Structure 1
Amino acid sequence: MMKQISLMITSVALTFAMNICAQQSPWDKADAIVQSLDPVTFPDKTYVITDFGAVGDGKTLCKEAFEKAITICSDNGGGKITVPAGTYYMNGPLVFKSNVNVHLEKGAILDFSTNESDYLPAVITRWEGTELFNYSPLIYAYHVQNIALTGEGTVNGNGSKKFSPWNNIQTVEQEMLRKMGRTNVPVYRRIFGEGYKLRPGFIEPFGCANVRIEGVTIMDSPFWVIHPIFCNNVIVRNVTVDSHNYNNDGCDPESCRNVLIEGCTFSTGDDAIAIKSGRDNDAWRIGQPTENVVIRNCSFRSKINGVCIGSEIAGGVRNIFIENITIPKSSNAIYFKSNLDRGAYIQDVYVRNVQADTVRTALIRFEPNYKGERSAFHPTLFDSFLIENVTCKQSNECGIYMAGFAERPLQNIVLKNVTIGKVPTPYCFQNGENIRFQSVKVNGKKLDEKPTPKELVKLRVL
């Protein structure tokens, strides 16, 4: 009898616990991530950059003045370096040290050199997901903590004048680097930079903790714009990106934890957001996912994709929360992509309250075989997505595109309250398990809750 009572009590307790869990929203975790972030603050000490020899006349060499100010500020325990209005010619990278906030006042412009030799010696970074030594990013930090770039000023990378055209002559070196990653060549032997044409990134904190980029305008990037790598506790807030060169992704957190991107306005030549975690063998070697990312209250105008995860996700991506986003223009609005060289996983992704105007390709796209690279067979796990309250006036090719593999189907995906006004192909679907369309309306008609397989149409690949 006592045993039966005990089992009944256990059953009731378990049922109660399950009910409590069912009532909890996944967005509670997003709130917890944001609340856990360090706000990245600094001691109340101020240094003025002009006191260190910088002149805002657009021609005086200012790199050395910034180096002096940053070193003194950091050595004295940290604080704020104020940059008054003016144009400061940066004849080399701005390199952060711990506990420094570089604050650009309204009208202040950091105008970066287009001379590649100014970005030597080469520094360690990642280029399209593979580690190497390359030209220094224009703004760089390596294993420091508590750093910030703030204010109402502007940083101008002048990428269109010199570096961006390297995109047309990089193929041999790009493949050389990828091969080094696939064959596990030691990183210290992956020396590029001088004599090579792999473009430097714009803003790249590498292995840093507590990073804040807030208020600034970023324009004309040589390559990826904001690219934190192996960082923890990153805040990108109220930032404007206006950059339209090749591969000008707006913000690409790569192998990072605890990231908040909010209140931003991006107009980009490539993906506005592209969450990454490294390429193939090189990412497997390190094994650091990108996780606990919140993106909210932003506007993303893009020549390519609005919000994207991939394709370099071989370290894994999980716990991603995206809400309250407008996408006035893009090719794909919400895009999850990988390929058969990547392996790993994209899971626990939550998206809500997205308004897209006209998209050229698809509103929502799941693509495990991006660009059809099938040199190996390591399909990525796509699991546990909830996408809700999404509207789109028009998609020019397909509304919803979901292309799993028979050997690795897409799993546990719910689209809820999705409306697409006009599109030639409502949806394509192959190889999925537990896929649900709840109140999904396309061309004025509600789709069945359980989608049936539909032939894949050939979409543009960008």
Structure 2
Amino acid sequence: MKNAPLYFLLLCSLFLASFKKNERVTLNEIKVKAPFNMPAIKVPDFSKCQKMPITDFGAVKGDKQKTSQAIAQAIAKASKMGGGVVVIPEGEWLTGKVHLKSNVNLHLTKGAVLLFSEDPADYLPAVSSTWEGMECYNYSPLIYAYGCKNIAITGEGKVKAKMDVWKTWFSRPKPHMESIKRLYNLASQYTPVKDRQMVNDTAHLRPQFIQFNRSENILLEGISIENSPFWTVHPYLSKNVVIRNIKVYAHGHNNDGIDPEMSQNVLIENCTFDQGDDAIAIKSGRNPEGWRLKTPSKNIVIRNCVVKNGHQLLALGSELSGGIENVFMDNCRVVDGAKLNHLVFIKTNERMGGYVKNIHISNIKAGKVDQGILGIETDVLYQWRNLVPTVERRLTPISNIFLDNLAATDVKFLSRILGQKELPIENVTVKNVTASTIHGEKHIHENVENFTNAH
């Protein structure tokens, strides 16, 4: 063939052009300053990956089935390519569950609303998930990733849950309570997770909105989240998690904003929370789950966040049997008029074990707080107190808690620390922690060793 070399070069150039168009996802490192050794966090970069609108896969507005299938097909193709951006275009798109795969960015363009069905059947078959710190098979989280690497949810659009059915599940009638009692007993007996099937007609264990389960290198950025059946964002047994510039509005039952659980190397920044429960709640399993999995929540930095409503700005526990350490919250604000119980609340009980240590909170401003700035309680059992007995008693060592420059306008106390005589809470330092009006004693303490109040 006379022009064979030229033909070969043309084929090579076409191949290279195609390869460039479909480049794989890469990783960036984010270095974070903290008062402890904080590893650099790896996050995925999809800037050179192909964009794949769901309309190219047959998505139709208002058609739940076609849109669900289109999203699943686009995610599968993007993952197979080694990196792709699945694009939700402007407009409202009704869907069922979304299961992410490795090397996929789910991107919601400005004006896009991904509206999740209220039909529980759309979140079956059951998947490996959790309920209040206990592993089980339950309804799939609305957006779910299991064992994934290099995943993201980004954009200026919104994900929204239809609440018609879920809100009827907020109540806790006897059949529901019997189901969580059953799960508690299964966990206490170390029953394999595959045998803890919790989907039936009466259990009504609501799914999380977004759960990253046993995944790593995760970016959640820019989106708004409205409503949630249960916890809103749940990084579980995951590593290298960055959550930034998101807005969360969820005022249902158990509607925490972000619940890092047994997760490590986490950055939460520039987020806004308007919650029906805790804004940020760090957890690490309930009772034997944390003891079995032996994975503390560790190296978590939270900064530059705003809370409009919630139970606590930052909660640690009560599910903390795997331990919590190396937490740094800095430069966060609670708006005037917000409904809030504490700025920082550490809660555990005689069944948890685990530990809490090396917690640093600084530069927090708030208006009226219903209870106080710092609360530490070691006998918080909620519904479990009378539901099931203590199977194994393990106390929680709590130590090295540092607060610096926290201010509120109106509180009942600055600190209320209720330790246990057998295991006093140790080494709590509050520096420049103030309130304009204090309605009771500044510091209410039981069984605390080495408390320092500095100015």
TM-score by length of 2: 0.87
From 331, 337, 356, the equivalent of 2:341 is 331
The Cα shift of 1:59 comes to 5.8
Give yes or no for contact 1:241–1:250 (8 Å, CA) kept in 2. yes
- How is 1:65-104 mapped onto 2 (pairs within 5 angstroms)? 65-90=70-95, 92-104=96-108
Unaligned runs of 5+ in 2: 1-31
Count of residues in Structure 1 that have an aligned counterpart in Structure 2: 409
Give the aligned partner of residue 406 of structure 1.
Answer: 421
Superposition deviation, residue 60 in structure 1: 6.4
Instruction: State TM-score, norm by structure 1.
Output: 0.86
* Secondary structure, counterpart of 1:351 in structure 2: strand
Residue in structure 1 matched with residue 394 of structure 2 by the alignment = 378
CA distance in 1, matches of 2:66, 2:178: 34
Out of 364, 369, 380, which is 1:359 matched to? Answer: 369
Tell which deviates more after alignment, 124-133 or 359-368: 359-368
Report the equivalent of 1:240.
Answer: 247
User: Shift in Å at residue 398 of structure 1?
Assistant: 2.8
Compare 43-52 and 228-237 and name the one that shifted more. 43-52
Segment drifting more, 109-118 vs 168-177 = 168-177
Cα RMSD (Å): 1.6
* Stretch deviating more after TM superposition (205-214 or 75-84): 75-84
Tell me the CA shift for residue 356 of structure 1. 1.3
Provide the C-alpha distance between the structure 2 equivalents of 1:31 and 1:378, rounded to a whole number of angstroms.
27
Match of 1:12 in 2: none
**Does the 8 Å CA contact 1:30/1:294 hold for their aligned counterparts?**
no
**1:282 and 2:289 correspond:** yes
Q: Using the TM superposition, give the Cα deviation of residue 57 of structure 1 relative to its aligned residue in structure 2, in angstroms.
A: 4.3
Is residue 179 of structure 1 aligned with residue 185 of structure 2? yes
SS of residue matched to 1:357: coil
SS at match of 1:38: strand
Task: Describe how 1:191-230 pairs up with structure 2 within 5 A.
Answer: 191-195=197-201, 196-230=203-237
Q: 1:96 and 1:221, CA in 2 relative to 1: closer, same or farther beyond 3 A? A: same
Distance (Å, rounded) in 2 between the aligned partners of 1:98 and 1:136: 18
**What is the identity, as a one-letter code, of the residue corresponding to 1:116?**
P
Distance in 2, matches of 1:38 and 1:28, equals 15
Q: Render the CA deviation track for 1:168-196: whole Å, top value 9, x for unaligned.
A: 13222121111211222221110012423
Specify whether residues 272 and 126 from structure 1 end up closer, same or farther in structure 2 by C-alpha distance, changes over 3 A only: same
Q: Match of 1:95, as an amino acid?
A: H
Deviations 1:94-126 (A, max 9, x none): 100110001100110010111111100000011
User: Whole-Å Cα distance in 1 between the matches of residues 132 and 195 of structure 2?
Assistant: 17
What's the % identity of the aligned pairs?
36
Aligned match of 1:109 in 82, 90, 113? 113
> How far off its partner does 1:319 sit?
0.4
Q: Is the 8 A contact 1:297 1:325 kept in 2?
A: yes
> Where does residue 293 of structure 1 map in the other structure?
300
2:153 aligned residue = 149
Match of 2:430 in 1: 415
Q: Conserved in 1, the CA contact under 8 Å of 2:405 and 2:432?
A: yes
Deviations 1:254-287 (A, max 9, x none): 0001000000001000000000000001221111
Answer yes or no: is the 8 Å Cα contact 2:54–2:67 preserved in 1.
no
Determine if contact 1:302/1:331 at 8 Å carries over to the other structure. Answer: no
Name the SS for the 2:234 alignment partner: coil
Render the CA deviation track for 1:439-460: whole Å, top value 9, x for unaligned: 2xxxxxxxxxxxxxxxxxxxxx
Moved more, 176-185 or 56-65: 56-65
1:162 equivalent in alignment to 2:165: yes
Contact 1:207–1:229 (8 Å) recurs in 2: yes
Gaps of at least 5 residues in structure 1 are 1-26, 440-462
Measure the CA separation in 2 of the matches of 1:185 and 1:164: 30
Cα distance between partner residues in 1 of 2:200 and 2:124: 7
Which amino acid counterpart does residue 186 of structure 2 have in structure 1?
Answer: M
- Asked if the contact 2:36/2:326 (under 8 Å) is kept, the reply is no
TM superposition shift of 1:242 = 0.5
Task: Mark the CA change 1:186 to 1:57 in structure 2 (over 3 Å): closer, same or farther.
Answer: closer
What is the rounded CA distance, in whole Å, between the counterparts of 1:265 and 1:341 in structure 2? 33
- String of CA shifts for 1:182-218, please: whole Å, max 9, x gaps: 2222211100124231101100011001111100000
